[in-house]
Amino acid sequence: MKVLLLNGSANKNGNTFTALSEVARQLEKNGIDSEIMQLGNKPVRGCIACGQCKVKQLGCCAFDDDICNRFVEKLNEADALIVGSPVYYGQPNGAVLAILQRAFFCGANVQNKPAAAVAICRRGGATATFQTMNMIFEMSNMPVVTSQYWNIVYGQTPGEAVQDTEGLQTMRTLANNISWLLKKIHADGNPDYPNREPWQGMNFIR
């Protein structure tokens, strides 16, 4: 079993990395593999709603000039997902949202995979950031994994998050909970996922 952790900060070794590293270390103690994928600081496209991923059944985004499709490949192979993001104006990093929206829309294999969001902030906006990231998991049939508190870690300058002892404990508890859930799901090697009705999409314009 493997957990993919997306570091949604342009700062490779900043406080988002510190928080996700704490999760990764605890996952390892529980016998769960993990990989921290760095979003990086190169340009990331937003979805332009071209629909080519659906029309051509690509299973990936039609644009292949940024990190999105590499993320899709890793996500398809992972058993769970944790996304960490710094707080920008009370919201996740825009590049994180762009990657998640494109990856999930193009058909990445996410259904039934446990997921969690982690928000890192200097002072405020963390709960809004946390909730925003969770919304995409909640509408994708992904069990959202909880902790002892909202998954928030505080810190401004790189490495400062190590001083947030409660935040790091929250990360370890998150790791313990996602490890427990993964082991329960895969206990007999044949997960008994719920049967789901075909999607019945509609709008209210008639």
CATH number for position 26: 3.40.50.360
Domain assignment of residue 93, yes or no? yes
Domain assignment of residue 201, yes or no? no
Q: Which helix (H) or strand (E) segment is 151 a member of?
A: none
Domain assignment of residue 121, yes or no? yes
Domain assignment of residue 198, yes or no? no
Q: Which helix (H) or strand (E) segment is 27 a member of?
A: helix 15-29
Domain assignment of residue 177, yes or no? yes
Tokens of 47: 């979805």
Antiparallel, parallel or unpaired: β 80-88 and 2-7 = parallel
Give SS3 for 35. Answer: strand
Domain assignment of residue 199, yes or no? no
| Number of helices and strands in the chain (H, E) | 6, 6
Domain assignment of residue 194, yes or no? no
pLDDT for the residue numbered 188: 85
Closest CA relative to residue 137, chosen from 188, 75, 198? 75
Q: What are the residues facing 86 on neighbouring strands?
A: 120
Number of domains in the chain: 1
Q: Which pLDDT tens digits describe the chain residue by residue (206 residues)?
A: 999 999 999 999 999 999 999 999 999 999 999 999 999 999 999 999 999 999 999 999 999 999 999 999 999 999 999 999 999 999 999 999 999 999 999 999 999 999 999 999 999 999 999 999 999 999 999 999 999 999 999 999 999 999 999 999 999 999 999 999 999 999 988 888 999 999 898 988 87
pLDDT for the residue numbered 60: 96
**Domain containing residue 145:** 2-185
Torsion, CA 35, CA 128, CA 171, CA 42, rounded to 10: 30
Please give the Cα distance from 97 to 186 (Å, whole number). Answer: 29
Torsion, CA 77, CA 47, CA 51, CA 4, rounded to 10: 10
Domain assignment of residue 6, yes or no? yes
Closest CA relative to residue 98, chosen from 8, 1, 25, 188? 8
